[in-house]
Amino acid sequence: MENLTREQEVAYHSATHCHICEEPFAQDETRVRDHCHLTGQYRDPAHSNCNLNYKESYTIPIVFHNLSGYDSHFIIKELANNFKGTIDLLPITKEKYISFTKNVNEADAVFRNHVKLRFIDSLRFLSSSLDKLASFLSKDKLKILRSEFSNLSIEDFDLLTQKGVFPYEYVDCAEKLQDTRLPPRESFYSSLTGDTISESDYAHAENI
């Protein structure tokens, strides 16, 4: 650990709360200097037990909405073939999975531990459509999205945050993704619903 500055020493001895659990220090309780074990940089004072249990996480969550409702085999196949390491599955059935985790062995030399890519289904925690969930957020709460599209005008950003449409059955080959014009409204027909999209949805797609 790096040596503490005079100011850090004063702050350490005068601190009243553990920075990890945010609970106060008891009068006779042992406190420790919590620091990052990768950089050696001092963080703040902590309870001894909190410090022992405070570990770096090497798990990267990757969130799909309704992951278990779609075929994820192609993702698992690519993970199995392109990275060394095992895959752990949490299945619902033989064909569908709630979650799966890829252990990336190549990361050992850097992090002294396995990096895990954990794919999870957010529908298991937020049981509604993405459109419905997004409607609960006001535009000023979309800070990350706004930072990624900071060049858009307010009007264009409003278009971006509205639900779009896609002609799933029309796009039956990769070449159709190269189309430079929007296909006709009839091309948005869905055999699941037995209907095409509404005129207002198609007008929105044209506007986009």
Domain ranges of the chain: 6-53, 59-124, 137-206
Please tell me the predicted confidence (pLDDT) of residue 169: 93
Please tell me the predicted confidence (pLDDT) of residue 7: 87
Please tell me the predicted confidence (pLDDT) of residue 171: 93
pTM more than 0.85: no
Residue 151 carries which side chain, given as an amino acid letter?
A: N
What's the CA gap between 69 and 172, in Å, rounded? 21
Please tell me the predicted confidence (pLDDT) of residue 175: 93
Mean pLDDT for back-to-back runs of 10 residues, the chain (208 residues): 83 88 86 80 87 79 84 80 82 82 70 76 85 84 90 90 90 92 94 92 90
What's the CA gap between 35 and 168, in Å, rounded? 51
User: Cβ neighbours of residue 71 under 8 Å, at least 6 residues apart?
Assistant: 95
Q: In what helix (H) or strand (E) does residue 118 lie, and over which residues does it extend?
A: strand 115-121
As a whole number of angstroms, the longest Cα–Cα distance in the chain is 76
> For residue 84, which phi and psi values (nearest 5 degrees)?
-75, 140
User: Cβ neighbours of residue 186 under 8 Å, at least 6 residues apart?
Assistant: 196
